[in-house]
Structures are given as structure tokens and as C-alpha cells.
Chains A and B, each alone.
Chain A
Amino acid sequence: MSGSLPKVIPPLSAPLPTDAYQLLSIDEKVGQPEDALFEQQIQDVEDWWKTPRFEGIKRPYSAHDVVSKRGSLQQTYPSSLMARKLFNLLRERSAAGQPVHTSV
């Protein structure tokens, strides 16, 4: 695999913290592992929000609010990748003072 393409920052897909957690037995999940998973995700969300992509964004909710509602199974969403593609296109055109047309 060639590593010549630049990395996507912030990343869209990566090994998810919940992958390994999900495969533990119930006894192995209870207590410290579920707490560690929760804290890890909060840190990941806060790091993600600090990236330049979200500069200037104000959120009336905390990473704790978000992660507590996620459940124990994370997913990667193709729509997130497409949203990033659109964001990049709009930002690029905005910088050039150009429009993006939705029809001919």
C-alpha cells in the first residue's frame, strides 16, 4: 500500500474504541473497562472539536453529553465522508469568490 496520499484531518474512519470493548464478555466490560471507554471517547471528541475544521463553532453541549448518548457501538458513516467532501468544495470556492452551481 502506497502511503503517498495525505491523511484526512480530522480522520473519518479509524479503528473505533468500541470495537475491542464490544468483543469483551459481559464480566470483562463491567466497571473499569466501561469507564475507560467512556473517558477515552470524551477525550477523542474534545480533540476532534479542537481541529481547524470546527474553528469558531460554539456548542451549547459538552463532549460528556454526546458520548453518554452514543451507546457501546460506534459506526463510521459514509455520509460523514461526503459531508467533508462538500465542506472542502465550499471552502475552496468561497476562498476564490466563486459559486458552486446546483444546475446548469
Chain B
Amino acid sequence: MGAIDPVQMTQQAENQEVLYLSGWACSSLLTSTNEVSADFGDYPYNTVPNQVQRLFKAQQLHDRKNWDARRKLSADERKTSKYIDYLRPIIADGDTG
């Protein structure tokens, strides 16, 4: 459920209204200690906040690219071109197991 990294975020943005980040998945894959910590609670407490920052920065990048690409279309093309909102609100689930 949700996205663990920016690549997944870009794929989900079109159809998913919120971006869910799993703390359990972060504790498994993204600890700075490299420990696989799912369910053991022995990882740095900024593990999830750090990934939220990465995701948000990626959302902003894709939003800037989308905005620029749309400005290159004509006004009529914009009306009919699908608008993908990359700035989906992030739900960061800090409960890691």
C-alpha cells in the first residue's frame, strides 16, 4: 500500500488522491543504519521524516515539470490535456509495526 520512493510516487499520482508512506516499509528498507528493523524499533527516529522530505521534493520537481510542460501547450490544448496533480497530500504512517 502506498509508495516507498519517488518513482512509485510518480506512477501513483495520477489516480491516487493521497500519498501513503508506510513506516513499516521505511524501517525495513530505508534506515541509515542499514539494519532491517521492521517490528524491532531499533532505527533512527528520523527514518520516516527523511523519506517524507525526499518524497515531497520529488513531488515538487514533477509539479514544476508538469507546470512548464503545460505552459508550452496552447490554451485550447490545456483545456483538454489531462492534468496530473503531483502534489498529493502525504500521509506519513510513523507506526512501524
Could you tell me which A residues sit within 8 Å of B by CB distance? 22, 26, 29-31, 34-35, 38, 68-73
Interface size in chain B (residues, C-beta < 8 A): 15
The answer to whether B87 and A22 touch across the interface, beta carbons within 8 angstroms, is yes
* 62-97 of chain B: CB within 8 A of chain A: 63-64, 66-68, 70-71, 75, 78-79, 81, 83, 85, 87
The interface residues of chain A lying within 8 Å CB-to-CB of B78 are 30-31, 34-35
CA distance A93 to B2 in the complex (A): 55
The interface residues of chain B lying within 8 Å CB-to-CB of A38 are 71
Nearest B residue (CB) for A64 = B71
B59, chain A: closest CB distance, angstroms = 9
CA distance A40 to B79 in the complex (A): 18
Could you tell me which B residues sit within 8 Å of A by CB distance? 60, 63-64, 66-68, 70-71, 75, 78-79, 81, 83, 85, 87
B71, chain A: closest CB distance, angstroms = 4
Nearest A residue (CB) for B59 = A73
The interface residues of chain B lying within 8 Å CB-to-CB of A35 are 75, 78
The answer to whether B83 and A71 touch across the interface, beta carbons within 8 angstroms, is no
The answer to whether A29 and B83 touch across the interface, beta carbons within 8 angstroms, is yes
CA distance A73 to B83 in the complex (A): 15
